[in-house]
Amino acid sequence: MAVHAMSKVVADALSRDSIRVNVVCPSRIKIALTADLDTDEEVCLGRNLELQESRWGGAIVPLGRRDRPENNADAVVFMASERAGYICGANIDVDGGHQRMIFR
């Protein structure tokens, strides 16, 4: 929530100079860097990694799969393009529908 608020404040301050500020908010991305985090979390919770992977499907993420780096790259490329030229102060959730509420 703090990142969302900060993006709005910075966008307000810089938009006068035609600088757009937007944030891409990824979900948990399945890459080598996060593999150890997944394992550590599961050990603490007493579950194996296969159980976590099965839960990460439709019960947690409506699209039923983990995020991939390409999904976030596509969002960043779009936000940097002229097609997003009137978008300013936005927080784009690239999470397969995982974030279901506006505030926690």
**pLDDT, tens only, 45-73:** 666 666 666 666 666 777 777 788 899 99
Which residues of the chain are under the pLDDT cut of 50?
none
Domains and CATH numbers, the chain: 2-94 (3.40.50.720)
- Mean pLDDT rounded to a whole number for the chain: 81
HEC-encoded secondary structure of the chain: CHHHHHHHHHHHHHHHHCCCCCEEEECCECCHHHHHHHHHHHHHHCCCHHHHHHHCCCCCCCCCCCECHHHHHHHHHHHHCHHHCCCCCCEEEECCCCCCCCCC
Nearest to 96 by CA among 35, 3, 25, 43: 25
Q: Are 16 and 88 in contact (CB under 8 A)?
A: no
